[in-house]
Amino acid sequence: MNRNRALVGWGGSALAAALIATGVLVATSGTSAPTTDSLVLNGRAPTTVELAVALRTGGSLSTSGTLWLNATTSSLSANLQVPVLTAPTDFSVRAVKNQLYFTSPNLANASGPVWYTLRVRWPSITSLARYLVKPNAALLSLLANARISHHGFATTYEFSRPRIALGTFGAHRTSSLVTGTLDVRLSTGRQGEFTGLWASLATKSATTTVTLNVLSYNHPVVIVAPPHSRATTPASPLIKQLLASGALGSLLLPTQLLQLLSPAKLG
pLDDT in tens, 183-200: 999 888 888 889 999 999
Instruction: Report CA 144 to chain centroid distance, whole Å.
Output: 25
Q: Pick the residue with more confidence: 19 or 241?
A: 241
Give dist(CA 60, CA 234) in Å, integer: 25
User: 214 — alpha (psi -120 to 50), left (phi > 0) or beta?
Assistant: beta
CATH code, domain carrying 34: 2.50.20
Q: Pick the residue with more confidence: 36 or 194?
A: 194
* pLDDT of amino acid 112: 80
pLDDT at 260 over 70: no
How many domains in the chain? 1
| Confidence band of 171 (pLDDT split at 50, 70, 90) | low
Per-residue exposure over 220-254, b if at least 16 CB sit within 10 Å of its own CB, e if not: ebebebbeeebbeeebeebbeebbeeebbbbbbbb
pLDDT in tens, 217-247: 999 999 999 999 999 888 888 777 766 666 6
Average pLDDT over residues 56-78: 88
Q: Average pLDDT of the chain?
A: 77
Specify the long-range contacts of residues 123-128, CB closer than 8 Å, at least 24 apart.
123/22, 123/26, 123/260, 124/74, 125/22, 125/69, 125/70, 125/71, 125/74, 125/75, 125/76, 126/71, 126/72, 126/74, 128/22, 128/25, 128/26, 128/69, 128/71
Which segments of 29-136 does DSSP mark as H helices, in order? 125-128
pLDDT at 54 over 90: yes
Residue-range definition of the domain harbouring residue 85: 2-265
Cα torsion 90, 25, 97, 120: sign: positive
